[in-house]
Structure 1
């Protein structure tokens, strides 16, 4: 099992009774609450808090922390001028979500940043239509740096929380099962048959599979969280040897940062104890902002990562082979290919049509059709 990124897991917790009731209280939305919990639980190890100015600048420009450790996505807390003034003279602030205190932050620094230039570096575009770029440039003007600690998680949705493992818990499961190699599978979609074939191809070689769907805000048109989770539950129950699967949720938002986010995804799965991660075509991409295999190429810049990427070629269904294949295994002409299109799938479900069973398991299709509105709107 690889070491946690940076050498050790962050484990930052505080008892609710130890939080001073007189502290200035900072309200954060659910997306930011998840990021704070990811810091405390060790998902973002070695980070212990939000980036200071030196680390922020280094991450944006070089894809590394100021100590040269790989880190590609800025983890930051933004605030407006009014809130910043109130925080400035505080050594510590309470963190609140939905009226409930869930943690504290030790305030270390406040600084301004160039939103547009920073976003261009991270997302490799200045197109406001890019969802990640757009969110970044619409942040507040000031960033607050400092270490965070949380109480035990306070569920926003019990169904989602019941499937959530911390890195310490997932590492314990991997160790208890005696796996020497564990392959992570990152997803923000319901599983279709090509996903299943790819996952099982990995299981032919490695000891275990860590299926880790991303739970959090996604772009319009993506499947809703509960649709994804229920679909995978049905798939695992019917088509997988359960003793070789760990199914756990990752609570964070998609950034759609393409190659940079691929590295971020790998680092998180290394912290969960995975030795390998499947990196697909256009991993964490959106639209046509990144070349199809940019997320493969970027790993050459980070040879020191202790998790190894697995690069599978794009799979498609060949009507002549009557199976899922790729350019390495199928000699047939393009006329025989049936590509899996997310747009095509969404149109079928929107019209109440079941995809053919060679594209999606009927059990999965029925789960999706059981939701009158399965997509993010």
Structure 2
């Protein structure tokens, strides 16, 4: 089986007490990523990155060791909290007063928010959701290893969550030698299904791994994505060839840099291959459509293999889904599909035709009073 990123699957759990520790409040979104560190989804990270790693990620898209890593995982705090943490040496992390993890402080440092955002997102435009978040971060970053004492409670959105140790055990049990991962933040349309099934013709197993977490306004809500994929896999996929596992983190909309980050996480889950879509993790017009394909040329050592499919479309002459490699007809015969198009259709009250979206999924989506992130 493919080795975890960095060669070792990280586990950062502890039964130690958090009583008496000063606490720093974090968001639920960051708590998800802290658990992702503890579970090994972010292997080889064992905590929040220090200054040398942060600057290396920003400048080179790698940790200071040279290992590929493109998205810094950080904890930002104000000056007062930074001073308290530094003096304490170790602090608890809490959500709404509930302590769930500890952080051993190795370093406190500052960073240039705008220049860092430009390097990661390829733009300094604050209309970009990732840039906006970074320039509005607090002034100091805390670095150090974490230990999680209390996991996030199970709930409807987490019933398909698995750790890398669990997914690797399941892949081994199924005897899959090749596993192709699929990242999505959208409900599935038929072009997605055709792409995934094209991959199933080449690899032993399909690892469907939708992102459940913070997204921008206008994206589909998590519960809609989850229900839609449940329906698709139940009705249209062979049970012994597909795994459905949710990934709990936030969308960063970092385009090519995030494509590498997505691939690394799927490598840790045990995937040998990873489908990289057109405008992968993009937003607006900040990245050209195949920027996320081109960046993999700079990471030849990544081990997990990117899979680049040409864009699928519905050909009105072929009467089937096709791509430029196997269809001779011009743009006038093509009906393009995209997450953006599906969102526009649903928001306008239009039910996508059966050749664009499975009827069960279309009906499911319109049954939600508010299917989109407000």
TM-score range, shorter chain: over 0.9
State the match for 1:81 in structure 2.
79
State the match for 1:6 in structure 2.
6
1:92 is aligned, of 90, 107, 112, to 90
The answer to whether 1:41 aligns with 2:39 is: yes
Normalising by structure 1, we get a TM-score of: 0.97
State the match for 1:274 in structure 2.
271
SS in 2 for 1:57: helix
1:61-91 Cα offsets, whole Å, 9 max, x none, are: 0000001000000110000112112111112
Distance 1:180 1:343 in 2: 34
State the match for 2:241 in structure 1.
244
Q: Could you list the runs of 5+ residues in structure 1 that have no partner in the other structure?
A: none
Distance 1:20 1:114 in 2: 33
The answer to whether 1:201 aligns with 2:190 is: no
State the match for 1:173 in structure 2.
170
1:353 shift after superposition: 2.7
Distance 1:41 1:343 in 2: 33
The answer to whether 1:133 aligns with 2:101 is: no
Contact 1:31-1:253 at 8 Å conserved across structures:
yes
State the match for 1:56 in structure 2.
54
State the match for 2:211 in structure 1.
214
Distance 2:350 2:124 in 1: 38
Contact 2:219-2:343 at 8 Å conserved across structures:
no
CA RMSD of aligned residues (A): 1.0
Contact 1:19-1:104 at 8 Å conserved across structures:
no
Contact 2:91-2:103 at 8 Å conserved across structures:
yes
1:243 shift after superposition: 1.1
1:269 shift after superposition: 0.3
Give the direction of change, closer, same or farther, for the CA distance of 1:92–1:310 in structure 2 (3 Å limit): same
Contact 2:184-2:211 at 8 Å conserved across structures:
yes
Give the direction of change, closer, same or farther, for the CA distance of 1:335–1:261 in structure 2 (3 Å limit): same
Distance 2:165 2:149 in 1: 16
SS in 1 for 2:54: helix
The answer to whether 1:294 aligns with 2:301 is: no
Normalising by structure 2, we get a TM-score of: 0.98
1:341 shift after superposition: 4.0
1:144 is aligned, of 135, 142, 145, to 142
1:228-256 Cα offsets, whole Å, 9 max, x none, are: 00000000110001111110110110110
Distance 1:44 1:64 in 2: 14
1:325 shift after superposition: 0.8
State the match for 2:359 in structure 1.
362
Distance 2:210 2:339 in 1: 17
1:88-137 Cα offsets, whole Å, 9 max, x none, are: 11121111113321111111100000000011000010111111111111
Contact 1:19-1:94 at 8 Å conserved across structures:
no
Distance 1:279 1:348 in 2: 25
Distance 2:239 2:94 in 1: 38
1:160 shift after superposition: 1.7
1:342-361 Cα offsets, whole Å, 9 max, x none, are: 34422332243311000000
SS in 1 for 2:106: strand
Distance 2:53 2:257 in 1: 16
Contact 2:18-2:101 at 8 Å conserved across structures:
no
- Runs of 4+ off more than 4 Å: none
Aligned length: 374
SS in 2 for 1:199: helix
Give the direction of change, closer, same or farther, for the CA distance of 1:343–1:301 in structure 2 (3 Å limit): closer
1:263 shift after superposition: 0.4
Q: Could you list the runs of 5+ residues in structure 2 that have no partner in the other structure?
A: none
